[in-house]
Amino acid sequence: MSAMIIKGSEIAKQIREELKHEVEELKKKYNLIPGLATILVGEDMASKVYVGAKEKACRELGIYSERIDLQYDTTEAELLALVEKLNKDEKIHGILVQLPLPRHINKTNVLYAIDPKKDVDGFHPVNIGKLVLGDPEFLPCTSLGILELLIRSGIETEGAEVVVVGRSNIVGKPIANMLFQKKKGANATVTVCHTGTKNITSHTRRADILIVAAGKPKAITAAMVKEGVVVIDVGVNRLGSGLVGDVDFDSVKEKARAITPVPGGVGPMTIAMLMYNTIKAAKMAAGIKEKIKE
């Protein structure tokens, strides 16, 4: 079997082009420029790369971008005061605090301080609660990116057996909740596996769609999947001189119907969905009806 390679980089490019036209329309018709503020605390190199990529995406789409770099020893109180200032700033529609934060800052306190209507990461408990209830405003970017990959690749989720490996608040829990909702692009039967799961292979081999966010390189092998499975690999791990996912791509692609590569799979979709959420936040703030289907 020759698997279809789901190229997130190409799908993300298509979405960003759509969003660019959306931003142009907002400027022309409503004199509205979506604004995103990113906050980076410390000198973590990976975080700098991520924030730089988000800035670049904003420039390409015509979104106003405000980057705030803070010293590692910034106090939690100082960071919370900055978040509150941005909450009140009318030209800022989305606030993103880049994780991880230094150990002396309580991540939960900071994320909870963001106005839910500016929570373009989709991590505030108000937005997570609305997701669980089936009435979301902002969906977590990586999980929303996975959903878009499935929809735009023509992968049917209705009635499918979906297995999610990983239960993080960033990917595992949100995507599981999104896929069992009674909605288009969802309505699946979802199983979540984690470190406490016994005989994980008995679950992964049942999957029509397997979503892996385990945080362990090549954790899923060909022996753990069935013929014709669709595999979404969320993992990014440095192994030797290159990057690999949580799935043993070379062996699993021989059995899969479709599979995402690493890099170039889920990663580019996360930033595209952050841009989507920022534009959505700007429209909500201005009372403009959402036009892009979710």
- Residues taking part in catalysis: 54, 98, 121
Contact between residue 84 and residue 112 where contact means Cβ atoms under 8 Å apart: no
Q: Which residues of 60-90 are buried (b: 16+ CB within 10 A; e: fewer)?
A: ebbbbbbbbebeeebebeebbebbeebeeee
Q: Kindly state the tokens that stand for 145.
A: 């990116």
The answer to whether the bond into 263 is cis (omega within 30° of 0) is: yes
Query: How many angstroms separate the CA atoms of 68 and 42, rounded?
Result: 11
> Which pair of structure tokens corresponds to residue 231?
């595999």
CA distance 227 to 293: 32
For residue 30, the 8-state DSSP code is H
Strands 237-239 and 242-244: antiparallel
Give the separation between CA 2 and CA 51, rounded to whole angstroms. 36
Q: Is the peptide bond before 136 cis (omega within 30 degrees of 0)?
A: no
